[in-house]
């Protein structure tokens, strides 16, 4: 048997000494065995924290995926191995924090969703799709958007929403009669549709057409009582950049929330990102509460008919409620 397969077997059978010997002799720690599993996945299944630490220290990839798209963290989570899970989570967060810092240092010539904003989108009753048939916004999210609106409208007052999409969150925000309701939207087709459907004529609504990055300076200097952020085709880095504006955009007792859709097809990666955003937002002076909402019932297979990517496959959605820390 090849050494790398022996390493998988040693991890599977809790043989720490053998794992150590094989690591010391330079065995490939990122090897996939005949079942498509890495030594780290085997260790996560058995929950052996000592072996997991040794493998991680030797450079085993925490984010490798099995043939059924599960990572070591998913295996630890499924089996309820808390210590193993915590170790993998810590590694995932650290590694993504480092990657994020590197990405922020790189100079970008263009922005993340330039192509999306220049291409046409198509509208139907239950979704908006981009020109690659990916769902920009889908009606199954309506209960989530209503819950976000409820959270950010807790104090009434002046509300800001970034990204109109199907107008689900904005329709829900209107139910709370905000004194002012500002909406930023960057896609020309979506903007046109907003105007055609009368959003520009609502007394308390101000529409700001453009990318939030370009128009953030035109916003209300007094700040907002509630803010929601949900764009499309942008990355974690863009959300991070938006968050840098929060301290000046949100009133002292205001409530901020964002669409928490990072890594919506993998439960463990999603937990990593929930923690990452919470940590980074904490460094800006905010505390975050994640409210679990079951979504399994809104998501039958028929929802995804004709849509290229199932961007959400998890049973629970964690709605973030962020406020300035006391
Ligand atoms: C997922 S949809 C928002 C859905 C919305 N929350 C709802 O309830 O229907 C994302 C929207 O953000 C817009 N968008 C994408 N990038 C943007 C940016 N940089 N600034 C402003 N809007 C942007 C997209 O055109 C799209 O309409």
Which atom of ligand 1 is closest in space to residue 213's alpha carbon? 19
Nearest CA to ligand 1 atom 4: 165
Nearest CA to ligand 1 atom 13: 163
Asked whether the beta carbons of 12 and 72 are under 8 A apart, the reply is no
Nearest CA to ligand 1 atom 10: 231
State which CATH number among 1.25.40.20, 3.40.50.720, 3.40.50.410, 3.30.750.24 fits the domain covering 3-105: 1.25.40.20
Over range 182-206, report the average pLDDT. 97
Q: Which of 232, 238, 245, 264 maximizes ligand 1 atoms within 8 Å of its Cβ, making it the mutation to test the pocket?
A: 232
Over range 90-101, report the average pLDDT. 88
Output the pLDDT for position 182: 98
CA distance 72 to 61: 9
Output the pLDDT for position 106: 66
Nearest CA to ligand 1 atom 18: 211
Q: What are phi and psi of 220, to 5 degrees?
A: -60, 120
Q: Which of 113, 161, 165, 226 maximizes ligand 1 atoms within 8 Å of its Cβ, making it the mutation to test the pocket?
A: 165
Output the pLDDT for position 104: 65
142 C-alpha to ligand 1 centroid (Å): 15
Which atom of ligand 1 is closest in space to residue 163's alpha carbon? 12
Output the pLDDT for position 109: 58
Judge residue 292's burial from the number of C-beta atoms within 10 Å of its C-beta, 0-12 exposed, 13-18 middle, 19 or more buried: exposed
- Mean pLDDT for all residues in the chain: 95
What are residue 137's DSSP bridge partners? Answer: 128
Over range 69-88, report the average pLDDT. 97
Over range 49-69, report the average pLDDT. 97
Q: Report the pocket of ligand 1 as residue ranges, CB < 6 Å.
A: 113, 136-137, 145, 162-169, 184-187, 190, 211-213, 230-232, 234
In sign, the C-alpha dihedral spanning 136, 143, 201, 215 is negative
CA angle 116, 111, 307 (to 5 degrees): 30
3-state secondary structure of 187: coil
Per CATH, 3-105 and 135-324 having the same topology is answered no
25 C-alpha to ligand 1 centroid (Å): 52
Asked whether the beta carbons of 7 and 27 are under 8 A apart, the reply is yes
Residue located via tokens 């829900």: 172
50 C-alpha to ligand 1 centroid (Å): 45
326 pLDDT tier (thresholds 50, 70, 90): confident
Asked whether the beta carbons of 321 and 288 are under 8 A apart, the reply is yes
CA distance 225 to 205: 15
Which atom of ligand 1 is closest in space to residue 117's alpha carbon? 25
Output the pLDDT for position 107: 55
163 C-alpha to ligand 1 centroid (Å): 3
Nearest CA to ligand 1 atom 19: 211
Residue located via tokens 């549709």: 193
**Nearest in space to 39 (alpha carbons), one of 67, 18, 19:** 19
Output the pLDDT for position 312: 94
Question: What is the second-level CATH architecture of the domain 135-324?
Answer: 3-Layer(aba) Sandwich (3.40)
Domain range summary for the chain, segments of one domain joined by +: 3-105, 135-324
pLDDT beyond 80 at 233? yes
184 C-alpha to ligand 1 centroid (Å): 8
21 C-alpha to ligand 1 centroid (Å): 53
Which atom of ligand 1 is closest in space to residue 212's alpha carbon? 20
CA distance 243 to 286: 10
19 C-alpha to ligand 1 centroid (Å): 49
What are residue 135's DSSP bridge partners? Answer: 129
41 C-alpha to ligand 1 centroid (Å): 37
| DSSP secondary structure string for all residues of 99-149 | HHHHHHHSPPSS-TTHHHHHS--EEETTEEE-TTS-EEEEGGGHHHHHHHH
CA distance 47 to 35: 19
105 pLDDT tier (thresholds 50, 70, 90): low
Output the pLDDT for position 97: 86
| DSSP secondary structure string for all residues of 230-287 | --SS--HHHHHHHHTTHHHHEEEEEEEEE---TTTT-HHHHHHHHHHHHHHHHTTTEE
Q: Higher confidence at residue 220 or residue 159?
A: 159
pLDDT beyond 90 at 204? yes
179 C-alpha to ligand 1 centroid (Å): 22
């Amino acid at each position: 048997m090849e050494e790398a397969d022996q390493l998988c077997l040693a991890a599977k059978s809790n043989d720490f000494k053998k794992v150590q010997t094989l690591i010391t002799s330079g065995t490939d720690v990122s090897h996939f065995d005949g079942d498509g599993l890495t030594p780290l996945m085997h260790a996560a299944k058995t929950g052996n924290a000592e072996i997991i630490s040794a493998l991680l220290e030797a450079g085993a990839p925490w984010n490798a995926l099995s043939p059924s798209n599960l990572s070591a963290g998913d295996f630890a989570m499924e089996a309820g191995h808390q210590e193993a899970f915590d170790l993998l989570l810590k590694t995932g967060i650290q590694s993504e924090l480092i990657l994020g810092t590197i990405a922020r240092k790189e100079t970008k010539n263009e922005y993340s969703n330039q192509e999306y904003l220049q291409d046409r989108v198509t509208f139907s009753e239950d979704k908006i799709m981009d020109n690659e048939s990916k769902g920009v916004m889908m009606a199954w999210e309506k209960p989530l958007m209503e819950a976000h609106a409820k959270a950010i409208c807790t104090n009434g007052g002046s509300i800001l929403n970034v990204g109109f999409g199907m107008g689900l969150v904005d329709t829900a925000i209107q139910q709370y009669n905000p004194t002012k309701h500002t909406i930023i939207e960057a896609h020309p087709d979506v903007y046109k549709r907003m105007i055609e459907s009368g959003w520009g004529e609502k007394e308390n609504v101000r529409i700001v057409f453009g990318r939030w990055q370009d128009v953030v300076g035109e916003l209300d200097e007094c700040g907002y009582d509630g803010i929601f952020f949900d764009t499309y085709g942008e990355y974690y880095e863009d959300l991070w950049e938006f968050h840098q504006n929060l301290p000046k955009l949100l009133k002292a007792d205001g409530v901020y929330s964002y669409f928490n859709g990072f890594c919506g097809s993998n439960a463990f990666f999603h937990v990593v990102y929930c923690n990452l955003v919470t940590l980074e937002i904490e460094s800006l002076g905010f505390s975050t509460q994640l409210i679990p909402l079951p979504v399994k019932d809104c998501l039958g297979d028929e929802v995804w008919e004709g849509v290229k990517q199932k961007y959400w496959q998890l049973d629970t959605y964690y709605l973030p409620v962020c406020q300035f820390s006391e």
